[in-house]
């Protein structure tokens, strides 16, 4: 019984240390425009794919940097498709009190239209509707 209590107490303390600082997350994203092209760099190169370039504004009102790494992003389509791992152009991180402009390029199946953009940092998440294009 005492051993279980110690394990729970230690785990609680460790978790408290792991999540400290995550409560100061205060960031948002918005999509300004989207353009579609064929074969743009490594984007849209496979048969049946187009390259959708999503222009994003990330506003960081929090107290910690927000990573813009490609594995945080996914885009969803009106048909339920989910596309991940975009090519990201822009800064690697957005500093506290910063406003950062990014371009995310997703390889999307021909005929699909993106409707929602999501940034998922495990403990924090942001999303934005994508305007019709």
End-to-end Cα spacing for the chain: 61
Instruction: State which H helix or E strand residue 118 sits in.
Output: strand 114-120
Domains in the chain with CATH codes:
24-129 (2.60.40.1240)
Round to whole Å and give the CA distance between 47 and 2. Answer: 62
What's the pTM value of the predicted model, to 2 decimals? 0.80
Q: Which of 117, 121, 112 is nearest to 50 (CA)?
A: 112
DSSP letter string over 38-67?
S-BTTBS-STTEEEEEEEEEEEE-SSS-EE
Does residue 12 carry a pLDDT above 60? no
Round to whole Å and give the CA distance between 81 and 52. Answer: 14
Q: What is the pLDDT of residues 22-55, one digit of tens each?
A: 458 999 999 999 999 988 778 998 999 999 999 9
**Would you give the DSSP letter of residue 122?**
S
């Amino acid at each position: 019984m005492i051993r279980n209590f110690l394990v729970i107490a230690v785990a609680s303390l460790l978790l408290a240390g792991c999540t400290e600082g995550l409560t100061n997350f205060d960031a948002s994203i918005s999509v300004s425009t989207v353009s579609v092209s064929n074969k743009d760099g490594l984007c849209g190169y496979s048969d049946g794919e187009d390259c959708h370039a999503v222009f994003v504004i990330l506003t960081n009102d929090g107290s910690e940097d927000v990573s813009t790494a490609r594995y945080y992003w996914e885009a969803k389509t009106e048909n339920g498709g989910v596309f991940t791992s975009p090519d990201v152009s822009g800064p690697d991180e957005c500093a506290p009190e910063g406003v950062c402009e990014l371009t995310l390029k997703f390889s999307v199946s021909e005929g699909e239209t993106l409707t929602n953009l999501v940034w998922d940092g495990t403990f924090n998440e942001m999303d934005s509707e994508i305007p019709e294009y």
